[in-house]
Structure 1
Amino acid sequence: MEVIIYGKDNCTDCNKSKLLCQMQSIEFQYLSVGQDISVEELQAKVGQPVRSLPQTFIKRNGTLDYVGSYEALRRTLRETTAMC
């Protein structure tokens, strides 16, 4: 499993998402919106207007699933680890 985080460096929830992955020893990629990807490209990936950051995805078993915000990532990871 790998988490992909789209965010900005000065974003508290973006930093919390990275820290959450680090604390749970989960591999992650961090892409900076405006540098590594444009807002328009991110909106195309998400499939709707992006109003907040971070925007997160989880890649597992060859599938990329949209998760959303930091809170959504936290819930999803909690549910995933509970299943293991």
Structure 2
Amino acid sequence: MLNIKRPETYELAKAVAERTGQSLTDAVTEALRDKLKTLEDDKERDIKKRVASLLEHARLWREAMGPDLPTREEIDAQIYDEDGLPR
């Protein structure tokens, strides 16, 4: 159970409840849901930003390596024999 001991917090919850016509419990619940959604959205945006950054770095690295970089198949052919065993 939630026991609000800080007067400012209680007054904020009460003000939101009065303006929205909600109970204190519903006002606090909705505010916490909204905050959690914001945090989750921020995390998702951060993940997408990091992935985009990694992909850009990979593109730049590939571009810097030039067109003669061997393919995965070519590397595998050098490392493994026709039975898939290391040479």
State the TM-score, normalized to the length of structure 2: 0.28
Which structure carries more strand by proportion? 1
More helix, by proportion? 2
- Which structure has more relative contact order (CA 8 Å, sep 6+)? It is 1
Look at both structures and tell me which one has the larger radius of gyration over its CA atoms: 2
TM-score of the superposed pair, with normalisation by structure 1: 0.28
